[in-house]
Structure 1
Amino acid sequence: MDFKDAAKDKIRWDGTISVNDFSLSASTFSDKWKMFNPSFPPWLWTAIPKHHLGPPKVEGYLSLENVCLVKSSEEEESDISLTCKAESIISRTEEPFDDATLVCPEHEVNYYDFHIVYSPSYRVPVLYFRSYHSDGQPLPISEIEKDLPGHSAELLLESKWTFITQDEHPYLNRPWYKLHPCGTSEWMKLLFHGDTSLNKNFIEQYLVSWFSVVGQVVGLKTPLAILDNVVSNDS
Structure 2
Amino acid sequence: MSRIVILTGAGISAESGLGTFRDKDGLWTKYDLNEVATPEGFARNPQLVTDFYNARRANCLGAEPNAAHYALARLEAALPGEVLIVTQNVDDLHHRAGSKNVIQMHGALMSALCSACDHRWPAPAVMHLTDTCPACGHPRTRPDIVWFGEIPYHMEAIAEAVEACEIFAAIGTSGQVYPAAGLAAEARRNGADCVELNLEPSEISRVSQTRRYGPASEVVPDWVATLLG
Query: If the TM-score is normalised by the length of the shorter chain, which range does it land in?
Result: under 0.3
Structure showing greater radius of gyration is 1
Q: What TM-score, normalized to structure 1?
A: 0.25
